[in-house]
């Protein structure tokens, strides 16, 4: 997917990118490749692959949750790595106020430089673990309108990392590949325990490659019990349920 095909594919989803936004994506690509020489940010570096499997893929939450396009929402991206999906969403939708948390400080330093060079505002970068960031004593607990996560952990674990950060009546969006049905079944108890329900499971395929993707949208309907999230490492070792 070259940059023009990227622009055209998004236009089919009623997402119109300006020339300036296209320039930001081009700079993002250049900085990603350059940063990848020092850091293990991604195994995908060829331009067409980055535009398809990182940039376009990061836009898919807006297909399922159109409020991202227009509303002034606080969005927390858990384990964003090289900034996916939150920074492509921020470039396309400047109305979003983004917070990114990542457990590796080297990635946060890269993202700080990236955000500055892209000229993005309302982006906060935090070096922390999700388990402590969303703890019952944290000011970030149940604070965000939307929480996103892409390729971080299986859904039963991911729910415990992310749902404590979602405000009541807010939304958690998980970006998954093709095995979402099994993950959803295994995560059912965790999702209910943490105060959410699944409102949408949208299946799609990436253009050109036809690779399957699943967008799982959850609504936060009850407050998360104080005991969650458990201390760092425990959710992955002993998932709820």
- Binding residues, by number, are 79, 84, 130-131, 150
At residue 234, the 3 state secondary structure works out as helix
Query: Residue holding tokens 């930001």?
Result: 24
CA atoms within 13 Å, Cβ hemisphere of 13:
22
Q: Ramachandran region of residue 151, left (φ > 0), alpha (ψ -120 to 50) or beta?
A: left
Q: Ramachandran region of residue 240, left (φ > 0), alpha (ψ -120 to 50) or beta?
A: beta
Residue ranges at the known binding site for S-adenosyl-L-methionine: 79, 84, 130-131, 150
Q: Maximum Cα–Cα distance for the chain, whole Å?
A: 48
Sheet (strand 196-205) strand order: 123-127, 97-102, 74-78, 144-150, 166-176, 212-220, 196-205
Question: Within 10 Å of residue 117's Cβ, how many Cβ atoms?
Answer: 13
């Amino acid at each position: 997917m070259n940059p023009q095909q990227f622009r055209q594919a998004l236009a089919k989803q009623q997402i119109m990118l300006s020339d300036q936004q296209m320039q930001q994506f081009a700079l993002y690509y250049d900085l990603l490749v350059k940063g990848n020489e020092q850091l293990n940010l991604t195994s995908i570096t060829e331009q067409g692959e980055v535009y398809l499997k990182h940039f376009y893929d990061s836009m898919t939450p807006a297909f399922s949750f159109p409020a991202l396009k227009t509303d002034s929402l606080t969005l927390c991206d858990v384990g964003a790595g090289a900034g996916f999906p939150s920074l492509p969403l921020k470039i396309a939708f400047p109305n979003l106020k983004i917070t990114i948390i990542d457990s590796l400080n080297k990635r946060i330093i890269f993202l700080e430089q990236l955000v500055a060079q892209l000229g993005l505002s309302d982006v906060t970068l935090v070096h922390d673990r999700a388990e402590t960031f969303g703890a019952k004593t944290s000011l970030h607990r149940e604070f965000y309108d939307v929480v996103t996560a892409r390729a971080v952990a299986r859904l039963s674990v991911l729910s415990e990392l992310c749902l404590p950060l979602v405000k009541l009546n807010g939304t958690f969006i998980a970006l998954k590949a093709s095995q979402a049905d099994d993950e959803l079944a295994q995560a059912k108890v965790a999702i209910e325990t943490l105060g959410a329900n699944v409102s949408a499971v949208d299946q799609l395929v990436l253009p050109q490659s036809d690779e399957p993707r699943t967008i799982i949208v959850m609504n936060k309907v009850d407050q998360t019990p104080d005991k969650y999230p458990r201390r760092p490492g425990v959710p992955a070792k002993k998932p709820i349920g």
